[in-house]
Structure 1
Amino acid sequence: MEYYNYILVTSVLGWCIAQLLKTMINLIKYKKFSVERLFGAGGWPSAHSAMVCSAAAGVYRVEGVASTQFAIMCIVALITMYDAMGVRRAAGQHAKAINRINRILESKPASSGKPLEDIAQAANTSIAVMKEYLGHTPFEVASGAILGVILAFVMPIKI
């Protein structure tokens, strides 16, 4: 048997599988292929969670639960998943709200004489549509984590 970098291969494969699932789910749901879903953040399942959890589970299998490497991977996985459900999810929700406000303001008459609308009209000329898929729901993160752990236990350590 030959050795390969089991942890790296398993982690990258976890990310790839999650991104492919996300793209297929998007294709089924919207009946349209999106390259952005193939590489972008957000959506179900979380590719970030799949990647870090497969790495953590892989380190567990290779080094054991008492190893420093396993402890470090668990910390990295928890930080990554917390960030996906917290900061990045909030940023996506803010982007949705801002995009909604911009659509409302764009539908207003050009010169209403109201200062707020005049400011909004001036701002709309330089504001692009913001990306809304950035973070994850707890379900999306948990699904990615489960995918990653299962993959780490299915993949052989040696080939």
Structure 2
Amino acid sequence: MYYCFVPFVAWLVAGSLKYLINRFRFGKAAHSYIGNGGFPSNHTTVITTITWLIGFNEGFNSPIFGLGIAVIMIVIFDATGLRRYVGNHARTINALNQDSTEKHRERIGHTRIEVLGGLSLGILLGYLIYLL
């Protein structure tokens, strides 16, 4: 049953860490950076944590661990590809529509370092939860 709670724990840890990092970097403006994008990648952390926990508990040769790896790959491709391009498009649209009061969110995707941070944090959390 605890598999159901692990993604929430991973999301909470990654989100809290991301906020603390943004607070250090941007001060009081950190609240405007809450959401998609930034270090570490929440999405990558969540799926990596549960996948590695499955690997530790069920075995790294189990079919469900292999499925988890496939989902991790999809999340990474999405974060560093499609969602990053959407952010670039939003930046261009905002520059073209400077008179508009509606601004599109530009920080949607992730850099490779941000995804690597999510992977590392997810593996660490998966291992720590396994030890508990």
**TM-score (ref. length: structure 2):** 0.90
Deviation at 1:10, TM superposition (A): 2.9
Where do residues 1-159 of structure 1 align in structure 2 (5 Å cutoff)? 4-5=1-2, 7-32=3-28, 33-34=30-31, 37=34, 40-103=35-98, 106=99, 124=100, 128-156=102-130
Counterpart Cα distance in 1 of 2:70 and 2:14 = 21
The runs of 5 or more residues in structure 2 that have no matched partner are none
Question: Which has more helix, going by share of residues?
Answer: 2
Q: Which runs of 4+ in 1 moved over 6 A?
A: none
Distance 1:25-1:88 versus aligned 2 partners, 3 A rule: same
SS of alignment partner, residue 15 of structure 1: helix
Deviation at 1:35, TM superposition (A): 6.3
**TM-score (ref. length: structure 1):** 0.75
Letter in 1 for 2:108: L
CA contact (8 A) 1:18 1:45 kept: yes
SS of alignment partner, residue 131 of structure 1: coil
Identical amino acids, percent of aligned pairs:
31
Deviation at 1:73, TM superposition (A): 0.7
CA contact (8 A) 1:10 1:151 kept: no
Counterpart Cα distance in 1 of 2:69 and 2:58 = 13
Counterpart Cα distance in 1 of 2:10 and 2:62 = 22
Deviation at 1:71, TM superposition (A): 1.0
Aligned residue pairs total 131
Letter in 1 for 2:11: W
Counterpart Cα distance in 1 of 2:120 and 2:129 = 14
The runs of 5 or more residues in structure 1 that have no matched partner are 107-123
Structure having the higher Rg: 1
| Higher RCO (Cα < 8 Å, 6 or more apart) | 1
